[in-house]
Amino acid sequence: MSTHTFKPDMPPPGKVFGPMAWMRANLFSSWLNTLLTLLAFYLIYLIVPPILHWAILDANWVGTTRADCTKEGACWVFIQQRFGQFMYGYYPGDLRWRVDLTVWLAIVGVAPLFVSRFPRKAVYGLSFLVLYPIIAYCLLHGGVFGLTNVATSQWGGLMLTLVIATVGIAGALPLGIVLALGRRSNMPAIRVVCVTFIEFWRGVPLITVLFMSSVMLPLFLPEGMGIDKLLRALIGVILFQSAYVAEVVRGGLQAIPKGQYEAAAAMGLGYWRSMGLVILPQALKLVIPGIVNTFIALFKDTSLVIIIGLFDLLNSVKQAAADPKWLGMATEGYVFAALVFWIFCFGMSRYSIHLEHKLDTGHKR
């Protein structure tokens, strides 16, 4: 008779939790992975310390002139001294509160729209959309209510960048929606006109559009009708951007199931009411992230107005870096501009992703 013997206990499993186990799983799981990890560390070693030294540790933070920049790193004094120019361009110093006020009004005005429980959002939003541009124009441009007139040639810096981007998208949205509807229309003539318009603007670079609006627009208008340089750029930007918005909106229109169109028709709604009450509210909701993405692209593209001589953020930096008093400050200037652009674009792209998750509710089967 044999006695039953238990097998010896197995050894406990290796560490499954804790930093060591995490590193083994994610960094050193195979010899190839180990090699890649070491390569990554080497890359970081090559890139990060020099940047850290240049930008922070060895940087010059205090002073008023170039002579104060004695340390080896970046000379942030340049940015401090020219900060006003980068933000407002040549907007008169004692009137800059008007720009600040415009921005604060926008922030305070838009904030309720982000509160999901705010009552009567649509009414409030529409009245804001109508009133705010008027107030902003009065504040920025002046000439009414005893405000001193500030010509658009004095506008500049980040303020101009924001003006072009927001006016551009605000103008492009309605035009783009109309174009998208036109492209989906049953009437061949309207479809051809819209397709030609959209494909033309999408096929050419924005620079040529800006060139066109700055040299050809004056030729198109009746004689003796001068047109402001900023306005010319804005017209170019709006036409260009509307084509991209139209394509995004068309994507939304195509995503709406045919049953919705048929249901609207069966309810006896005509074309405009079925679009306005049934299709567009659903389609526009779908394409909000896409529109935010085109807005990011537009925001980056506003830097092109440098080519037609408007002083946006990038051009202000370029001008300031060419100042003989601050020669050799190009790197600091461009890094600063890049940081500002990056913060705006990255923020908006995060917001777009957040929206995509939030709106991802309907039309799933």
Partner 1 sequence: MQTQIGAPKQKLSFSDPKVRAWLFQIITIVAVVSLGWYLFNNTQTNLQHRGITSGFDFLERSAGFGIAQHLIDYTESDSYARVFVIGLLNTLLVTVIGVVLATLLGFIIGVARLSPNWMINKLATVYVEVFRNIPPLLQILFWYFAVFLTMPGPRASHNFGDTFFVSSRGLNMPAALAADGFWPFVVSVVVAIVAIVLMARWANKRFEATGVPFHKFWAGLALLIVIPALCALIFGAPLHWEMPKLQGFNFVGGWVLIPELLALTLALTVYTAAFIAEIVRSGIKSVSHGQTEAARSLGLRPGPTLRKVIIPQALRVIIPPLTSQYLNLAKNSSLAAGIGYPEMVSLFAGTVLNQTGQAIEVIAITMSVYLAISISISLLMNWYNKRIALIER
- Closest to partner 1 by CB, 131 or 266: 266
* Closest residue by Cα to residue 85 from 286, 337, 330, 254: 337
Candidates 131, 215, 255, 263; binder of partner 1 (CB under 8 A) is: 215
* Closest residue by Cα to residue 171 from 100, 99, 231: 231
Candidates 147, 175, 193, 288; binder of partner 1 (CB under 8 A) is: 193
- Closest to partner 1 by CB, 50 or 218: 218
Residue 204, both tokens: 């050419």
Candidates 101, 138, 190, 235; binder of partner 1 (CB under 8 A) is: 190
Q: Judge residue 181's burial from the number of C-beta atoms within 10 Å of its C-beta, 0-12 exposed, 13-18 middle, 19 or more buried.
A: buried
* Site for partner 1 contains 9 (CB under 8 A): no
Phi, psi (5° rounding) for residue 265?
-65, -40
Q: Measured between alpha carbons, how far is 319 from 300 in angstroms, rounded to an integer?
A: 19
What residues contact 186, with CB distance under 8 A and at least 6 apart?
none
Candidates 80, 154, 303, 352; binder of partner 1 (CB under 8 A) is: 303
Q: Measured between alpha carbons, how far is 350 from 337 in angstroms, rounded to an integer?
A: 20
- Closest to partner 1 by CB, 56 or 144: 56
Count the site residues for partner 1 by CB under 8 A.
Answer: 57
CB 307 within 8 A of CB 292: no
DSSP character for 312?
Answer: B
Per-residue x/- track, 32-71, partner 1 (CB under 8 A): -x--xx-xxx-xx---------------------------
CA torsion, points 104, 106, 109, 113, in degrees to nearest 10? -130
Candidates 175, 300, 351, 352; binder of partner 1 (CB under 8 A) is: 300
Report the SS3 class of residue 89.
Answer: strand
The minimum distance between CB 190 and partner 1, in angstroms, equals 5
Contacting range for partner 1; rule: CB under 8 A; set: 62-70, 81-89, 170-178, 205-213: 205-213
DSSP character for 362?
Answer: S
Contacting range for partner 1; rule: CB under 8 A; set: 63-71, 97-105, 137-145, 197-205: 197-205
* Site for partner 1 contains 345 (CB under 8 A): yes
The minimum distance between CB 124 and partner 1, in angstroms, equals 31
Contacting range for partner 1; rule: CB under 8 A; set: 6-14, 131-139, 150-158, 300-308: 300-308
Ranges within 162-181 binding partner 1 (CB under 8 A): none
Work out whether the CA dihedral 135, 138, 144, 147 comes out positive or negative: positive
Question: Alpha helices of 184-227 — where are they, by DSSP H?
Answer: 188-203, 206-215, 217-220
* Site for partner 1 contains 16 (CB under 8 A): no
Residue with tokens 């009708």: 225
The minimum distance between CB 353 and partner 1, in angstroms, equals 12
Q: Measured between alpha carbons, how far is 63 from 81 in angstroms, rounded to an integer?
A: 9
Contact residues for partner 1 (CB under 8 A)? Answer: 26-27, 29, 33, 36-37, 39-41, 43-44, 186-190, 193, 200, 202-208, 211-212, 215-216, 218-223, 296, 300-301, 303-304, 306-307, 314, 318, 321, 328, 330-331, 334-335, 337-338, 341-342, 345-346, 349
